[in-house]
Structure 1
Amino acid sequence: MKRIILITLFLMMLAGCNGQTVVLLPDMDGHVGTVDVTSETGETVTLVQANQAVKGKDTVVTMSDEDVQKTFGGAIAARPEPTAKFLLYFRSDSTTLTNESVKLFPEIMQAFHDRASTDVSVVGHADRAGDKDYNYKLSLRRANKVRAMLLDKGMPADVIQTISHGEENPIIPTADNKHEPKNRRVEVLVR
């Protein structure tokens, strides 16, 4: 939603900031939010569909993809590439990656090189089996293990930020002391 608002505000600046044209675009994942546009007269119009626009004082129209590209193509092309996100899973109560997760390292490194990235987050997680403090430390050990593997593959240390969430922020919410394989993970975000 923040991306939609920022893109819309940027496009408003390009249009002259005087209410000439405001268009609602999908975010980089294709999701469409909403945006309220208030004119100088105090009239508020809510845009809810992709390419819906306010032109002039309060006229709502839907712009074609071609018109959006013609008017705002330069700004759209300047958006950064979406973050590449990789989920690496672990065996229960360990820092041992699953075989499927080990196979993702070439893709991670390719995304790193393709983006000429200088910003990689390695975020450790644990399921809710066990003590909260233990799970925090376990998820940090998992994140550090993935960091070490990325370093071994040639990623520079100064681009990697390592974080632990412990059992917080699960993919699948569970009761306390519940094993859940999808929550035993490290997320690698390549920007």
Structure 2
Amino acid sequence: MTSARSLTPVLFFVLFLCSCCLNGCAKQTTVVLLPDPGGKVGKVTVTSDVASIDITKAQEATVIKGRQSAPTAPKVLSEAEIARNFSEALSSLPEPPKHFNLYFEKDSDRLTAQSQQVIPDILAAASQRQSQDIGIIGHTDTAGDPSYNMRLSKQRANAVLQILIQEGIQDKFVKITSHGENNPLIKTADNVHEPKNRRVEVVVR
């Protein structure tokens, strides 16, 4: 029996290609590991009845010629090879999520003027995809009390939600989470005002 399975919890894409060998009708399977839309790469073990092998690098592939054959040594394929051999599988992959960062005035749930101009881009992405899965994640910088920052991050996320609702997005398609001063975009010491960390992430799937 041949199989492929993930050994890590990160997201990944695995492509399979089954074809006939040149020397007869025996079939072979090629397994290729691709990074997820964020660039992370998982780990896949390809197993037959006689051996198994791990593929762990982006665009790494192994070939197996049946349950009684060992997978070949991993080999990194070029983008051209993957596009040529896996065009049908690639065309069926879901479109990766679109990410937007909206920034806020200091100690406030008011968007900066520049970030207000990003709202039409979010709406366009949601409309194009007919999205029913939008994530809103609130953040703050490290200035101030952590409990206050958690509340502020929730206020920022809710402020963005209200803007999207006013523009026609249904709230049942939106999920809100808040991280407070945790998970900053720019790592800083405590009690540091950092404009890039005063943000809400919007993810349109």
Between Structure 1 and Structure 2, which shows a larger proportion of helix residues? 1
Between Structure 1 and Structure 2, which shows a larger proportion of strand residues? 2
State the structure with bigger RCO (CA 8 A, min sep 6), 1 or 2. Answer: 1
1:40 to 39, 44, 49: 49
User: Does the CA-based 8 Å contact 2:150-2:178 persist in structure 1?
Assistant: yes
> For the aligned residues, what is the CA RMSD?
2.7
Q: For structure 2, which runs of at least 5 residues remain unmatched after alignment? A: 1-7, 20-26
Number of the residue aligned with 1:3: 11
Deviation at 1:51, TM superposition (A): 5.4
| Residue 128 (str. 1) matches residue 137 (str. 2) | no
User: Against the structure 1 CA distance between its residues 85 and 92, is the aligned structure 2 distance closer, same or farther, given a 3 Å change threshold?
Assistant: same
1:22 to 15, 31, 42: 31
User: Does the CA-based 8 Å contact 2:51-2:71 persist in structure 1?
Assistant: no
TM-score of the aligned structures, taking structure 2 as reference length: 0.77
Q: For residues 30-109 of structure 1, what are the structure 2 equivalents within 5 Å?
A: 35-46=44-55, 48-50=57-59, 52-56=61-65, 57-60=70-73, 68-69=82-83, 71-109=85-123
Number of the residue aligned with 2:162: 148
Instruction: Give the secondary-structure state (helix, strand or coil) at the position aligned to 1:80.
Output: coil
Deviation at 1:77, TM superposition (A): 1.6
Deviation at 1:79, TM superposition (A): 1.4
Deviation at 1:32, TM superposition (A): 5.4
CA distance, structure 1, for counterparts of residue 142 and residue 79 of structure 2: 47
Deviation at 1:35, TM superposition (A): 3.8
Number of the residue aligned with 1:119: 133
1:163 to 177, 181, 201: 177
User: Against the structure 1 CA distance between its residues 136 and 19, is the aligned structure 2 distance closer, same or farther, given a 3 Å change threshold?
Assistant: farther
Q: For structure 1, which runs of at least 5 residues remain unmatched after alignment? A: none
User: Against the structure 1 CA distance between its residues 31 and 45, is the aligned structure 2 distance closer, same or farther, given a 3 Å change threshold?
Assistant: closer
CA distance, structure 2, for counterparts of residue 41 and residue 53 of structure 1: 15
TM-score of the aligned structures, taking structure 1 as reference length: 0.82
CA distance, structure 1, for counterparts of residue 203 and residue 44 of structure 2: 28
Identity across aligned pairs (percent)?
Answer: 42
User: Does the CA-based 8 Å contact 1:53-1:63 persist in structure 2?
Assistant: no
CA distance, structure 2, for counterparts of residue 181 and residue 112 of structure 1: 26
Number of the residue aligned with 1:183: 197
CA distance, structure 2, for counterparts of residue 185 and residue 127 of structure 1: 8
